[in-house]
Amino acid sequence: MARQDALSIYISDEEKDKLAETYAGVIETVQKSAISEQIKNKNYSGDPATGSVEIDRFKNAQINDLGTARTNQQGEKIKNTGKVVVNVDTDKEIVEEVAKKDIKLHGVSGMAEKRKGNHAKQMIAYLDREFFAKAEAEGTEITLPETVTGIAQKIEALVQAVETTVNDWVDGVDRDMLVLTLTPALYGELENYIDSVPNSITGLKDDMFHKVRVFSNHRQTKSAICMIDGAVAQLVTTDEYDVEKIPLSNDIGIELFFSKGTKAVMPDLIKFIA
């Protein structure tokens, strides 16, 4: 009977509340630590919980001679030629069994707290790898001329390749809208050219290369990637951090289920050096 009483405590409202706090800690850690969370597109319409959202990209305004609209009796139509639908189409889970001995020592909420850090790190790693795999798959590799030598010159050339992009949707990009992600080895080579600049919004310091934010990232396969902030969308939905008794045992399962969808919404503004 004592064992049954213990199990009833584990699934009480009090334990549920503690688990909800633990779950919130996992999501908060992911939002703060994942590079993809910091630079992904968040300007969408719709609710990710429904399974998909839309991201609009309007064509540049057209300049005509004075009187064109009056002659035609109408202005130019606003063309949303870059609209992208992002589907939350990939489901993932972290499900771990907790032994009865550990439950007795820590309680469910205590064990969930111990596993929280690892779950957050694994979720960060997965989301970042998916994000940068999509950027590499849909971005464009650039070939630098032989006259461009030295690490700083090469990275500057990569930045300029994105900065000077002209097409139906963009006519050049301001540097403060760009981000650079480099492999740790390349970041180390460039370190003497990187400045640490206070961020007035977050209160932290951003690493900057020639006015462009730069990140050291071991979860990309290309040496250097430059893209506009928001070039890739990654929607993530999560279910409640929960516990469940394993059938025909005294063990407990700790469960985190999440779904994601990743898509490049501005592939023309993603360029890399392989």
Ordered DSSP codes for 188-249 = HHHGGG-EEEE-TTTSSEEEEETTEEEEE-TT-SSSEEEEETTSEEEEEEEPPPEEEEPTTS
pLDDT at 75: 62
pLDDT at 263: 93
pLDDT at 7: 45
Q: What percent of the chain is predicted at pLDDT more than 70?
A: 78
- Over residues 111-166, the pLDDT tens digits come to 777 777 888 889 899 999 999 999 999 999 999 888 888 899 999 999 999 999 99
Beta strands in 28-165 (DSSP E): 52-55, 84-87, 90-98, 140-141
**Residue 172 pLDDT > 80, yes or no?**
yes
180 phi and psi angles, rounded to 5 deg: -115, 135
**Residue 176 pLDDT > 80, yes or no?**
yes
Q: Which of 127-131, 225-229, 251-255 has the lowest mean pLDDT?
A: 251-255
Ordered DSSP codes for 16-44 = HHHHHHHHHHHHHHHHHH-HHHHHS----
Nearest-10 crossing angle of helices 100-138, 2-10: 30
**pLDDT tier, 243 (very low <50, low <70, confident <90, very high otherwise):** confident
**Residue 6 pLDDT > 60, yes or no?**
no
pLDDT at 237: 85
Neighbours of 23 (CB within 10 A): 19
**Residue 228 pLDDT > 90, yes or no?**
yes
Q: Which of 2-6, 179-183, 216-220 has the lowest mean pLDDT?
A: 2-6
Residue whose token pair is 């999560």? 238
**pLDDT tier, 2 (very low <50, low <70, confident <90, very high otherwise):** very low
- Over residues 21-76, the pLDDT tens digits come to 676 677 777 777 789 999 998 888 877 777 888 887 655 556 667 766 677 776 65
Nearest-10 crossing angle of helices 2-10, 13-33: 40
Mean pLDDT of 223-228: 96
**pLDDT tier, 8 (very low <50, low <70, confident <90, very high otherwise):** very low
For residue 265, give every residue at least 6 positions away whose Cβ sits within 8 Å of its Cβ, in sequence order, or none.
41, 55, 57, 82, 84, 86, 230, 231, 232, 233
Stated pTM of the model = 0.79
- Over residues 86-110, the pLDDT tens digits come to 888 899 998 888 777 776 666 666 7
Q: What's the chain's average pLDDT?
A: 81
The CA R_g of the chain, rounded to the nearest whole Å, is 24
